Amino acid sequence: MYRTNTCGELRLSDEGRQVTLAGWVQRSRKMGGMTFIDLRDRYGITQLVFNDDTDSALCERANKLGREYCIQVTGTVRERESKNSKMPTGDIEIIAERLNVLSESVTPPFTIEDNTDGGDDIRMKYRYLDLRRSAVRRNLELRHKMTIAIRNFLDSKDFIEVETPILIGSTPEGARDFVVPSRMNSGQFYALPQSPQTLKQLLMVSGFDRYFQIAKCFRDEDLRADRQPEFTQIDCEMSFVDQEDVIDLFEDMCRHLFKELLGVHLPERLQQMPWHEAMRRFGSDKPDLRFGMEFVELMDVLQTGSFPVFDQAKYIGGICVPGCAGYTRKQLDQLTDFVKRPQVGAKGLVYVKYNTDGTIKSSVDKFYSQETLLALKERMGANDGDLVLILSGDNANKTRVQLCTLRLEMGDRLGLRDKNRFECLWIVDFPLFEWSDEEQRLMATHHPFTMPNPDDIPLLDEHPEQVRAKAYDFVCNGIEVGGGSLRIHDGKLQAKMFDILGFTPERAMAQFGFLINAFKYGAPPHAGLAFGLDRFVSIFAGLDSIRDCIAFPKNNSGRDVMLDAPSELDPKQLEELQIKVDLHQENQQN
């Protein structure tokens, strides 16, 4: 045995015990004839003491230890004279009697501490060192606890965990697939699953009425803080259920996770907000309810024929920012520059300051009377000391999205998005279809197997854009954590969906024939939901990015800088796959 105890478990009650510890040198300090080593393992840190008067040879060996040396030490537990209240083991220290250097270390490229001096790129390159930091390790421990809690909860509800294939056929209707060439089937390709969607539906046809899987998924999408090319879903499906059955069960699961892992008690019943209401009030289908600043529509107040920008707009909306009437011209100019950034896309920003002395100052003073600005104050529910920010545009939903970005920015600036507070809700009644400017056709908002609201089925022929979906998203603190829907299990209705989406019967059969044929054999009504495990863990851990709750993540360019992937293939491998790489056209463009 290399160790008999761990660095985090020893306490004052262990005084006098002989123990053997193994781990890494966190830091070393020499004080007179004493050398102090902080030894770190997965469980914590313990101070080791080497005394030159007791064993000068042992102390000399300890003086040669560098950061991150992997060592084994045997010694006796003693009460520490100068206690360290910041360490769980701060009451004790180990009087070293034997030292075994298991492995030396070169100087690490950054300090292995919670407050490290390593930037993102260098930490990703040396991720195996970054994972030694307790701040990162705790995230993976939380992830482990969450997956155990999920498995136990779903097992108690009669779910069965079933693995589904990683090499499947391509389904390009959603995000871009990652494809894998087949050596044994020349010129043909597998795809990595964007989700186990059709496979779990087949399990419902197979009679497995409650399925789940902690599933790896792959999507070749542009990356951001909450998105990776490969990610993990808590993937679930149920037979013989309606929408409320699914929501009730998984709301219970979320309530269980918050209570068990964070000690947080969610309400007994979460709010359900229709998609159209969410867009109208917050400009987002994942609204952050930790703070107010709800949108107020102002067309009737501000379209007075005096300000052309507003008079020609199809939408005018504002938010009331409490207590910010004292914003300076510089601060307001910064906000204007913010909304005009390409990522936001607004043409400008109008402000009205309702000062604490009762005066009103606005960027549109010359266009509006004091009476109109007072009417605006009443409509906005503003008080003296508040700031009103207004955007307008030709497209209502586009302008609402811009106003949403501004609202979130103000929430950040005012410290209103507290990571220790959790506001969860369900978004329901999504549109079944959305228009794609790129494809110039209707696309499925979620996927082609989503059940239309039965009340809206008569609209499919003439007004499909008005049809609501039996779909639902779980949102927490402005983040879409999970979502799902009732599925179509009727072959005729599924054929109509494919037709609206522009599939010919031949293309539908070629791409989804396995599912269409399966539905001919008594398919049960079924529904499902998938949570993003990475996002769930990041919310619980208070992270801004999902990368630090994934052991070996990719960077924002989709690269694994530690493994240097993706990379070129050996010509022999390409020859075996009968693939030729031609970058001539790309090089010409560059």
Q: What is the pLDDT of residues 203-250, one digit of tens each?
A: 999 999 999 999 999 999 877 767 899 999 999 999 999 999 999 999
Helices 134-156, 533-541: crossing angle, 10 deg rounding: 120
Side-chain-side CA neighbours of residue 92 (13 Å): 25
Q: What integer pLDDT is reported at residue 85 of this predicted model?
A: 84
Average pLDDT over the chain, rounded to an integer: 93
Q: Is the pLDDT of residue 588 over 70?
A: no
Name the percent of the chain lying above pLDDT 90.
83
CA dihedral 473, 198, 552, 45 (to 10 degrees): 60
Query: Which of 243, 144, 302, 194 minimizes the C-alpha distance to 450?
Result: 243
Beta-bridge partners for 531: 234, 482
Across residues 101-117, what is the average pLDDT?
93
- d(CA 52, CA 356) in angstroms, rounded, equals 70
Q: How far is CA 119 from CA 26, 326, 387, 566, in A?
A: 19, 37, 38, 22
| Nearest-angstrom CA–CA distance, 500 and 441 | 9
User: What local confidence, expressed as pLDDT, does residue 325 receive?
Assistant: 96
User: Which residues, in sequence order, are CB contacts of 506 under 8 Å at separation 6+?
Assistant: none
Segment 364-413, tens digit of pLDDT: 999 999 999 999 999 999 999 999 999 999 999 999 999 999 999 999 99
425 touches 277 (CB < 8 A): no
Q: Is 417 left (phi over 0), alpha (psi -120 to 50) or beta?
A: beta
Summarised one tens digit per residue, pLDDT across range 433-479 is 988 887 778 888 888 999 999 999 999 999 999 999 999 999 999 99
pLDDT at position 222: 79
How large is the angle between the packed helices 396-413 and 329-340, nearest 10 degrees?
A: 140
CA distance to 109, 239, 429, 499, per residue, from 243 (Å): 52, 11, 11, 25
Q: Which pair of tokens denotes residue 24? A: 């890494």
Cα distances (angstroms) measured from residue 509 to each of 171, 278, 450, 461, 499: 12, 37, 18, 21, 12
pLDDT at 172: 64
Take residue 291 and report the two structure tokens written for it: 């703070």
Cα 486 to Cα 64, 238, 378: the distances in Å are 65, 10, 43
Mind listing the pLDDT tens digit for each residue in 476-501?
999 999 999 999 999 889 989 999 99
Higher pLDDT, 151 or 576: 151
- How does residue 173 score in pLDDT terms, banded at 50, 70 and 90? low
Composition of the chain by helix, strand, coil, percent to 5:
30, 25, 40
DSSP state of 565: B
The reply to whether the predicted model has a pTM over 0.85 is yes
pLDDT in tens, 33-57: 999 999 999 999 999 999 999 999 9
| 56-to-33, 53, 210 alpha-carbon distances in Å | 9, 6, 66
pLDDT of residue 440: 79
Integer Cα distance of 45 and 266 in angstroms: 35
pLDDT at residue 171 in the model: 74
Long-range contact set of residues 124-128: C-beta below 8 Å, sequence gap at least 24: 124/547, 124/553, 124/555, 124/561, 124/562, 125/561, 125/562, 126/562, 127/551, 127/552, 127/553, 127/562, 128/562
For 476, phi then psi, to 5°, come to -135, 120
Interval 51-85: pLDDT, tens = 999 999 999 999 999 999 999 999 999 999 888 88
Q: What is the pLDDT of residue 174?
A: 66
pLDDT at 363: 95
DSSP secondary structure string, 76-114? EEEE-SS--TTSTTTTEEEEEEEEEEEE--PPPSS--SS
> Which residue has tokens 């970005």?
405
Residue 589 pLDDT > 80 = no
Residue type, 485: S
Sheet of 386-393, strands arranged across: 296-297, 315-321, 386-393, 350-354, 360-362
- Inter-axis angle of helices 197-205 and 505-518, nearest 10: 40
Length of the chain: 590
Strand, coil or helix: 443: strand
Backbone torsions φ then ψ of 314, nearest 5 degrees: -90, -15
CA distance 548 to 283: 29
The token pair at 527 is 């529904």
Pull the structure tokens for residue 320.
């009331």
Report the candidate in 30, 28, 8, 23 with the shortest Cα–Cα distance to residue 92.
Answer: 8
Is residue 227 within 8 Å of residue 256, measured between CB atoms? no
DSSP per-residue letters across 489-534: --HHHHHHHHHHTT--HHHHHHHHHHHHHHTTTTPPPEEEEEEEHH
Is residue 118 over pLDDT 90? no
Give the integer Cα–Cα distance in Å for 576 and 582: 17
